[in-house]
A and B are shown apart, each in its own frame.
Chain A
């Protein structure tokens, strides 16, 4: 099949090589889109309304290297048996897949605060969706600028 490569994506791939990754060739699955991210979020929330708020997503505004970007997420919740966070879902719009990670927690966590490190293929928006014990959904998002490393490497 003949796949046309948009110039921007080609440059991304070239940038990836320059960053010393295994040479990356573009395939159809090379990048998720905003629509795919919305679909993935839809699978989690169904027909529920997602309200902005309660969720604080923390990523550095400017990233040294997209291979390991520190991510912290906090949710404003008392974390009691009656009122707590059940799950936190993280999504992105430009990696090959829209899903990043899902955390499942409960009152025994004490506080709703989780950190990890993620990969980001490009400058993009990262979205966190939080599912509460009462069935409500809340969200927070952040824009991240990713610069790519300069010198290439033979692996």
Chain B
């Protein structure tokens, strides 16, 4: 099932700064909450996000529990050449999601 939403212009001019927006489905359980019976709810968050452009890392982020559920992130990158943008989220309990999308640069 689709658990990410990634938005950026599919076509760009060389040298253009494009904006990338990405949302991933994740509860981001903080580890600071308790059930009504008083049991601690263990932390379960995404800890790292990375964006690669034709295999080269162009942006990354380290998340803490203060990042809202279903993390949203928006950043920019320079359209250098046609190819692939890759997006990777990793987190607690082996969470790992990778998505790729093509960009055409003229």
- Which bucket holds chain B's interface residue count? 20 to 34
Q: A22-B33, A104-B59, A108-B53 known; A114 and B74 CB under 8 Å?
A: yes
Docked Cα-Cα span, A102 to B34, in Å, equals 27
Using a CB-CB cutoff of 8 Å, which residues 62-84 of chain B contact chain A? 62-69, 71-78, 80
| Contact yes or no, A111 B76, CB < 8 A | yes
Cβ of B88 to closest chain A Cβ, rounded Å: 14
B11 is an interface residue with CB less than 8 A from chain A: no
A24 within 8 A of B: yes
Chain A residues whose C-beta falls within 8 Å of the C-beta of B62 in the assembled complex: 101-102, 104
B37 to chain A, nearest CB (A): 9
Chain B residues within 8 Å of A101, by CB: 61-64, 66-67
* Interface size bracket, A side: 35 or more
Q: Is A117's CB under 8 angstroms from B66's CB?
A: no
A47 at the interface (CB under 8 A from B): no
Q: Kindly provide the distance from the CB of A20 to the nearest chain B CB, expressed in whole angstroms.
A: 12
- Residue in chain B with minimal CB distance to A154: B36
Contact B64 A99 (CB under 8 A): yes
Q: When the two chains form the complex, which single residue of B63, B66, B80 contacts A108, counting CB atoms closer than 8 Å?
A: B80
Interface centre among A23, A95, A116 (most CB of B within 10 A): A116
Contact A22 B34 (CB under 8 A): yes
CB of B30 closer than 8 Å to a CB of A: yes
Q: Do the beta carbons of B35 and A22 come within 8 Å of each other? A: yes
* 28 CB-based A-B contacts, threshold 8 Å: A22-B36, A23-B34, A23-B35, A24-B34, A67-B68, A69-B68, A92-B66, A96-B30, A97-B65, A99-B66, A101-B64, A101-B67, A102-B62, A104-B61, A105-B58, A105-B75, A108-B56, A108-B78, A109-B76, A110-B76, A110-B78, A111-B17, A115-B74, A116-B61, A118-B67, A118-B68, A119-B66, A119-B68
Query: Which residues of B are interface residues toward A (Cβ below 8 A)?
Result: 17, 30, 32-36, 38, 41, 53, 56, 58-69, 71-78, 80
